[in-house]
């Protein structure tokens, strides 16, 4: 009788001929998440992945595994041989451990006989174990519809008994769906956008824009902190830090004030696209939500898109602010995001920004600027950080 951790895969089970690739990527992500904790073995068995290690380390392992995209449930298990006597003893032990955690009055045994060579069918296994539990514990009863606790029995090459299905984030393993460059500000939205795209299997790197010395160095440190929190879900992140103060000065001097925000945004997209092309990233990611601010109207987003040819992903586009905040709290970026350090968007902020810009008007205004030179110089002077 041994203790192991079982992890259940979600969408990966539907991947057909590509399933092996996704499982290998997921196993790699699991190793990355817990390698510093230490484990003895990771192996696959009939649709699930199992982790052997010291039971005392299971709580911290589970906390890490919850952040691995591709997993839907995590369960501490008792592993025994395919023997009814051992299975019964393990089920009684699982019930004892479950009763120490919460007040339990009812239970149900749920058996899954994946190995059809096992001679006793699932309903019979459940009935036999249920009878033994009723005999062992006189203060509980069976409830097949809404029990306080389930005793799960998975009969495979080995047999696994468990009572918990700890929910994870699901999604796809990071790196199985290309690479994206996230425009990471110091706000609430962009870290959530990065999280959501990583959940869909995108390998995330980030670009941040600042206006030092008009903005403080501490505002850049705040973004590094956000990238560090994000890296708990995504793995290693490359952070490109770009000073756009000279670009903003040029726009302020030569373009209509009301167009300051939208033209600045177009420069950010151009710079991000050049960085993405050089590093073979497949698309850009932003935290824009439709109508949230002046540059995020449907007209503003259309004009912003006009500046680049690369796909732009906006996973928050139809979300309310309160929903975005809920996710930011859950992934632990919120408290950092609300720290009161200014970002580059507050520099030369127009009193009345245009909310219904037209592409032809913005292009005409940009004719007064040496766009290529400004983009090139900003990239040449950028800093690159490795975030782990």
What CA–CA distance (Å, rounded) separates 116 from 70?
Answer: 27
184 is in an annotated binding site: yes
Structure tokens at 247: 């670009």
Structure tokens at 335: 């408290």
pLDDT at residue 47, as a whole number = 87
Strand, helix or coil for residue 270: helix
Decide if 241 contacts 383 (C-beta within 8 A).
yes
Structure tokens at 174: 């990071």
Higher pLDDT, 158 or 342: 158
Domains and CATH numbers, the chain: 2-167 (3.30.2130.30), 179-387 (3.40.50.620)
What CA–CA distance (Å, rounded) separates 236 from 228?
Answer: 9
349 is in an annotated binding site: no
Task: Tell me the pairing of strands 41-45 and 237-243.
Answer: unpaired
Average the pLDDT over 107-112 and give the result.
97
| DSSP 8-state secondary structure symbol assigned to residue 202 | P
296 is in an annotated binding site: yes
Q: Which residues contact 190 (CB under 8 A, 6 or more apart)?
A: 182, 183, 184, 286, 287
Per residue in 240-282, pLDDT (tens digit) is: 999 999 999 999 999 999 999 999 999 999 999 999 999 999 9
183 is in an annotated binding site: yes
Q: List the beta bridge partners of residue 4.
A: 52, 77
Decide if 69 contacts 169 (C-beta within 8 A).
yes
Decide if 284 contacts 276 (C-beta within 8 A).
yes
* Residue found by looking up tokens 């912003």 in the block: 304
Per residue in 306-317, pLDDT (tens digit) is: 999 999 999 999
Q: Which residues contact 13 (CB under 8 A, 6 or more apart)?
A: 19, 47
What CA–CA distance (Å, rounded) separates 9 from 168?
Answer: 10
Decide if 211 contacts 344 (C-beta within 8 A).
yes
pLDDT at residue 343, as a whole number = 66
Q: Which residues contact 135 (CB under 8 A, 6 or more apart)?
A: none
Average the pLDDT over 105-129 and give the result.
96
Give the rounded distance of the alpha carbon of 58 from its chain centre. 21
Residue 12 pLDDT level (bands cut at 50, 70, 90)? confident
Residue 155 pLDDT level (bands cut at 50, 70, 90)? very high
First to last CA, the chain: 37
For residue 213, is the peptide bond before it cis, meaning its omega torsion is within 30 degrees of 0?
yes
The per-residue DSSP string of 101-154 comes to: HS---EEEEEEEE--TTSSS-HHHHHHHHHHHHHHH-TT-EE-SSS-SEEEEEE
208 is in an annotated binding site: yes
Backbone angles phi, psi at 217, to 5 degrees: -65, -30
What CA–CA distance (Å, rounded) separates 378 from 182?
Answer: 17
Strand, helix or coil for residue 86: helix
| DSSP 8-state secondary structure symbol assigned to residue 284 | E
Decide if 219 contacts 243 (C-beta within 8 A).
no
Structure tokens at 301: 């987003």
What CA–CA distance (Å, rounded) separates 317 from 305?
Answer: 14
- The alpha-helical segments, DSSP class H, found in 157-216 are 189-199
Average the pLDDT over 83-109 and give the result.
93
374 is in an annotated binding site: no
Q: How many other CB atoms sit within 10 Å of the CB of residue 189?
A: 26
Mean pLDDT (the chain, rounded): 94
Closest CA to 181 of 247, 269, 305: 269
Per residue in 171-211, pLDDT (tens digit) is: 999 999 999 999 999 899 999 999 999 999 999 999 999 98
How many H-runs (helices) and E-runs (strands) does the chain carry? Answer: 13, 15
């Amino acid at each position: 009788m041994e203790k192991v951790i079982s992890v259940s895969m979600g969408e990966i089970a539907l991947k057909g001929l590509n399933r092996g690739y996704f499982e290998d990527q997921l196993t790699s992500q699991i190793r990355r998440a817990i390698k510093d904790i230490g484990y003895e073995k990771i192996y696959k068995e009939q649709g699930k992945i199992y982790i052997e290690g010291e039971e005392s380390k299971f709580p911290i392992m589970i906390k890490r595994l919850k952040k691995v995209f591709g997993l839907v449930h995590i369960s501490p298990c008792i592993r025994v041989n395919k023997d009814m006597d051992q299975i019964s003893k393990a089920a009684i032990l699982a019930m004892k451990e479950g009763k120490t955690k919460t007040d339990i009055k009812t239970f149900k045994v749920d058996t899954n006989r994946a190995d059809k060579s096992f001679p006793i069918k699932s309903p019979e296994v459940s009935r036999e174990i249920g009878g033994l539990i009723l005999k062992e514990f006189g203060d509980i009863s069976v409830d097949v519809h809404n029990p306080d606790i389930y005793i799960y029995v998975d009969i495979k090459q080995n047999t696994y008994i468990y009572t918990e299905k700890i929910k994870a984030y699901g999604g796809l393993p990071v790196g199985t769906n290309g690479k994206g460059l996230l425009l990471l500000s110091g706000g609430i939205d962009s870290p959530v956008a990065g999280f959501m795209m990583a959940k869909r299997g995108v390998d995330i790197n980030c670009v941040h824009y600042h206006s030092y010395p008009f903005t403080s160095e501490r505002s850049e440190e705040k973004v590094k902190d956000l990238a560090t929190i994000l890296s708990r879900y995504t793995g290693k992140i490359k952070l490109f830090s770009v000073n756009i103060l000279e670009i903003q000065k040029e726009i302020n001097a030569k373009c209509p004030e009301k167009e300051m925000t939208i033209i600045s945004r177009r420069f950010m997209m151009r710079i991000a696209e050049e960085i993405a092309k050089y590093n073979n990233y497949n698309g850009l990611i932003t935290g824009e939500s439709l109508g949230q601010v002046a540059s995020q109207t449907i007209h503003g987003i259309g004009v912003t898109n006009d500046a680049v040819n690369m796909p732009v992903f906006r996973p928050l586009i139809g979300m309310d602010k309160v929903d975005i905040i809920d996710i930011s709290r859950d992934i632990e970026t919120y408290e950092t995001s609300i720290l009161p350090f200014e970002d580059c968007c507050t520099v030369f902020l127009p009193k009345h920004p245009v909310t219904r810009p037209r592409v032809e008007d913005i292009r005409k205004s940009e004719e007064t600027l040496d766009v290529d030179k400004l983009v090139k110089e900003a990239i040449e002077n950028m800093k690159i950080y490795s975030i782990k």
